[in-house]
Structure 1
Amino acid sequence: MTIYQLDAFTNQLYAGNPAAVVPLTDQNTWLPDARMQAIAAENNLAETAFYIRTATGYHIRWFTPTVEVDLCGHATLATGYVIFFLEEKPEADHITLDSRSGPLRVCRGESGWLTLDFPADVLLKSSVQPPALAGGLGGPKPLEIHRGKTDFMVVYATQADVEALSPDFRELANVPARGVIVTAPGTDVDFVSRFFGPQSGIDEDPVTGSAHTTLAPYWGQRLGKTDLTARQLSKRGGYLLCKLHDTPTGSRVDISGQVQLYMKGELV
């Protein structure tokens, strides 16, 4: 089987968020779950994506080194790159990927940009900060705390507050969620963020596309905008464009980024 490693949400190598992608289109059936989990653990990347063909397009699944997850943005972006430019090379400018979070669309734009069409998250404002969250993050007092479908989102006053955080990951792992998003207004973009996910096997994720299904609706409402620029402030860094739009089935977020191919190999 072929395996690719790519850097997502960046226009240069050794930045953005690395993901592995394993096409299973030759046999067009899933490997045993334990085998896919073992491959993801061996890769030791934030996510490894596997995909097969379906009657309507493709089906995608994502694994961290320790668990299968319901949604992953950067590995979906990387999978779109593999399908569009390396494997299937469809003539159409969009593909549909079935997933545990429903159908996901990936569109091909100009200059190698790809756009994910993801369902927008629904936030509930929390009046109480869980003890593990307060103890795990430390730093200044946040302005707001929200709970989304899978993550907590903690809002700070300034970009400097987010940059200065030095979490206690052992404590943060006790927060009952997939992970913790921290965010603030940006100095050169609409908003910045970081994502901590020790519960899912990754202390700090370099760039978290799925977190922007939570971030974009919040900042869109707060700033009164539907088109937003975003930067994730990990050591590797990442740059994203977000666009909010409504459909008959609910609110969606377009998340756009670029991808760089790092490696192509063969699983023995």
Structure 2
Amino acid sequence: MDKLKFSTYAVFSNKDNGLIGNTSTVVETEHALSNVQMQSIASDLWQPATTFLWKKNDQWHVRWFAPDQEIGLCGHGSLAAVAHLYEKGILDTEIHFQNGIISGGVENEKCYITLASIPVIDELTIENYLLDGLKIPILGHFKTSNKNIILTDSQESVRFMSPNFEILRRSPIFGYAVTAVGDDCDFVSRTLVPHVHQLEDPATGSSHAALAPFWAAKLNKTKMKAIQLSKRGGQFHLTLEGKKVKLYGEHYKLNEGKLFLH
């Protein structure tokens, strides 16, 4: 029976301002585990994302699993992986994960990830199910290859939105990044995922890969600060570099230990 080391991090946080971020447990392994093993561990740990990290031929590999399924792109899990390597003192340059989607590193003792920006594909009709499901003013509905963007009128509308997930599940759309101009930052958002058990994600890197180019065009800025107004709260510093988005975030370790691999 093998023992695997793990550490849990909260990332995209700012505890001084009450933003405690999103959590991911990083499980570092000597080699790739099977899909069944990774899904079983993720189900037992019951984190928004369990990040599996291993090195092969001097290249780091990463995969992410929610308790119920694999995650195709997980920004906060990637930042947790970068934080894990940084905390171990083995991250002295930018790392490129083998999946080719995402990379990361450290600048001025701040961890970051870099991922491809996600552009708007089309502007969609604002359908009644959205108005009924979100119960906020909707100024625009935009399709992306990840989550759709919902533009609303104010930070207060985002903060006090009370979604009806049963209504939102009437559409097959996977998720929504609901956003508005911020009062004390460039923009705010919340990420809703009505078709999975979590329903709302606390601090979402992949949403900000879409929100960065969206707001950069509106605000005519390439460097921005964003707050995710979930119950836990998240803080992001974003830089748009061509077709790439660099997301900086604070982190802190919650626990560490060993688990048994059956």
Q: TM-score, normalised by structure 2?
A: 0.91
Change (3 A) 1:14 1:257: closer
The answer to whether structure 1 residue 119 and structure 2 residue 103 are counterparts is: no
CA distance in 1 between counterparts of 2:235 and 2:13 reads: 6
Amino acid at match of 2:24: A
CA distance in 2 between counterparts of 1:245 and 1:193 reads: 21
* Structure 1: runs of 5+ lacking an equivalent: none
CA distance in 2 between counterparts of 1:196 and 1:44 reads: 19
Q: Secondary structure at the match of 1:77?
A: helix
Aligned length: 255
Determine which of 253, 257, 261 is the counterpart of 1:265.
Answer: 257
Change (3 A) 1:173 1:44: farther
The answer to whether structure 1 residue 5 and structure 2 residue 2 are counterparts is: no
Counterpart in the other structure of 2:24: 19
CA distance in 2 between counterparts of 1:233 and 1:91 reads: 31
Counterpart in the other structure of 2:54: 52
Counterpart in the other structure of 2:43: 41
Which is further off, 180-189 or 61-70? Answer: 61-70
* Structural mapping, 1:216-231, within 5 Å: 216-231=212-227
CA distance in 2 between counterparts of 1:43 and 1:79 reads: 16
CA distance in 2 between counterparts of 1:191 and 1:256 reads: 15
Which is further off, 165-174 or 179-188? Answer: 165-174
CA distance in 1 between counterparts of 2:223 and 2:193 reads: 27
TM-fit CA distance, 1:132: 4.2
Shift >6 Å, 4+ stretches: none
* Structure 2: runs of 5+ lacking an equivalent: none
Q: Secondary structure at the match of 1:166?
A: coil
Change (3 A) 1:260 1:91: closer
The answer to whether structure 1 residue 167 and structure 2 residue 152 are counterparts is: no
TM-fit CA distance, 1:124: 2.2
CA distance in 1 between counterparts of 2:54 and 2:25 reads: 15
* Structural mapping, 1:224-239, within 5 Å: 224-239=220-235
Whether the 8 Å CA contact 1:155–1:184 is kept in 2: the answer is yes
CA RMSD after TM alignment: 1.8
Change (3 A) 1:42 1:198: farther
TM-fit CA distance, 1:198: 2.8
Change (3 A) 1:57 1:178: farther
